[in-house]
Amino acid sequence: MQQAAPFGRERFATRRYNETTAARATSHKLTNQILPRTCIVASIALTACGPSPPQPAPSPPPSQSDAIVILLRPGPAAWFDATEDRGAGIDYELVQRFAQQHGLDVKIVPSANPMQRLNDVGSGAKIAGGGIYRSATGSPSTNAAPRLYSSTYHSVYPVLIYNIDGYHPESWKDLAGESVALLADSSLVPQLSTLREAHPEVDWQLLALPTTEALISQVSDGSLSYAIVASNEAEAVRNVYLSFGTGFQVGPKLDLVWAFPATQAQLRDLVDAFFANARRDGTMQRLIERYYTHVPVPRLDAGAFHDQIKSTLPQLRAHFERAQDATGVEWRLLAAIAYQESKWDALATSETGVRGLMQLTEETAKHLGGIDRLNPQDSVLAAARYLHDLKDRLPARIPEPDRTWLALAAYNIGIAHLEDARILAQKQKLSADTWSAVKKTLPLLALPEYYEDTKFGYARGGMPVAFVDRVRAYYGILLAQEPPLKPRLKMLSDIVDPAPTSPQSDPTVPGVK
User: pLDDT tens for residues 293-321?
Assistant: 777 788 778 889 999 999 999 999 999 99
Asked if residue 241 and residue 260 are part of one domain, the reply reads no
Q: Please say if the pLDDT value at position 166 is more than 50.
A: yes
Do 23 and 145 lie in one domain? The reply is yes
Angle at 284 between CA 467 and CA 275, to 5 degrees: 170
CA distances from 185 to 11, 113, 191 (A): 19, 6, 12
Higher-confidence residue: 41 or 355? 355
Q: What are phi and psi of 495, to 5 degrees?
A: -70, -15
Q: Is residue 498 included in any domain, yes or no?
A: no
User: Is residue 177 helix, strand or coil?
Assistant: coil
Q: In what order do the strands lie in the sheet with 203-207?
A: 203-207, 179-183, 226-230, 158-163, 244-249
Domain that holds residue 179: 156-253
What's the pLDDT at 79? 84
Which of 199, 232, 253 is the C-terminal boundary of a domain?
253
CATH classification at residue 37? 3.40.190.10
C-beta atoms surrounding 147 within 10 Å: 24
* 191 within some domain: yes
Helix, coil or strand: residue 235: helix
What pLDDT, on a 0 to 100 scale, did the predictor assign at position 121?
60
pLDDT, tens only, 137-151: 654 444 456 788 999
Cα separation of 422 and 440, whole Å? 10
Q: Please check whether residues 329 and 468 belong to one and the same domain.
A: yes
| Secondary-structure breakdown of the chain: helix, strand, coil percentages, each rounded to the nearest 5 | 40, 15, 45
What is the bridge-based pairing of β-strands 179-183 and 203-207?
parallel
Whether 337 and 468 share a structural domain: yes
Q: What pLDDT, in 10s, does the model give residues 42-91?
A: 333 323 334 444 455 555 544 444 667 777 778 878 887 766 567 788 99
> Which has the higher per-residue pLDDT, 24 or 184?
184
* 220 pLDDT higher than 80: yes
Q: Is residue 482 annotated as a catalytic residue, yes or no?
A: no
Helix (H), strand (E) at residue 415:
helix 415-427
Both 372 and 449 in one domain: the answer is: yes
Amino acid identity at 448: P
- Share above pLDDT 70 across residues of the chain, in percent, rounded to a whole number: 77
Domains identified in the chain, total number? 3
CATH number at residue 404: 1.10.530.10
Same-domain check for residues 173 and 219: yes
What is the per-residue pLDDT for 217?
A: 93
Q: 150 and 165 share a domain?
A: no
Count of H helices and E strands in the chain?
19, 14
500 within domain boundaries: no
Instruction: State residue 26's pLDDT score.
Output: 36
Residue type, 108: I
Instruction: Single out the residue of 178, 156, 158 nearest to residue 168, CA to CA.
Output: 178
Q: In a 3-state reduction of DSSP, which class is residue 149?
A: strand
In which order are the strands placed within the sheet that holds 26-29? Answer: 26-29, 105-110, 69-72
Pairing type for strands 154-156 and 254-261 reads antiparallel
Q: What is the pLDDT of residue 63?
A: 46
Residue 2 has a pLDDT of 41
pLDDT band at residue 433 under the 50/70/90 scheme: very high
> What is the structure's pLDDT at 480?
87
Same domain for 221 and 101: no
**Do 104 and 161 belong to one domain?**
no
Length of the chain: 513
Least confident range from 120-124, 334-338, 359-363, 459-463: namely 120-124
Q: Give residue 57's pLDDT.
A: 54
Q: Among 154-168, 276-290, 423-437, 474-488, name the one with the lowest average pLDDT.
A: 474-488
- Pick the last residue of a domain from 253, 276, 308: 253
Count of other CB atoms within 10 angstroms of residue 19: 13
* Residue tagged active-site, from 19, 341, 449, 452: 341
pLDDT of residue 417 exceeding 50, the answer is yes
Which pLDDT score, from 0 to 100, does residue 508 have? Answer: 34
Q: What phi-psi label fits residue 87: left (phi over 0), alpha (psi between -120 and 50 degrees) or beta?
A: beta
pLDDT recorded at residue 56: 53
243, part of any domain = yes
The average pLDDT across 153-182 equals 95
pLDDT-based confidence at residue 185 (cuts at 50, 70, 90): confident
Residues 190-201: what's their mean pLDDT?
92
Identify the top-confidence range among 29-43, 80-94, 481-495.
Answer: 80-94
Coil/strand/helix, residue 171: coil
pLDDT at 39 over 60: no
**Res. 198: pLDDT tops 60:** yes
Quick one: which of 268, 330, 278 has its CA closest to 499?
A: 278
- Per mean pLDDT, which range of 264-268, 288-292, 343-347, 505-509 is the poorest? 505-509
- Same structural domain for residues 354 and 437? yes
The DSSP symbol for 17 reads I
**Same domain, yes or no, for 144 and 210?**
no
- Does residue 512 lie within any of the structural domains? no
Rounded mean pLDDT, 208-228: 93
The pLDDT value given to residue 239: 87
Q: Is residue 124 one of the residues assigned to a domain?
A: yes
Peptide bond into 56 cis (omega under 30): no
Q: Is residue 344 part of a domain?
A: yes
Q: Give the model's confidence band at 368: pLDDT under 50 very low, under 70 low, under 90 confident, else very high.
A: confident
Same domain as 269, residue 132: yes
Confidence of residue 122 (pLDDT cuts 50, 70, 90): low
Least confident of 59-63, 173-177, 180-184, 224-228: 59-63
Residue where a domain terminates, one of 195, 224, 253 = 253
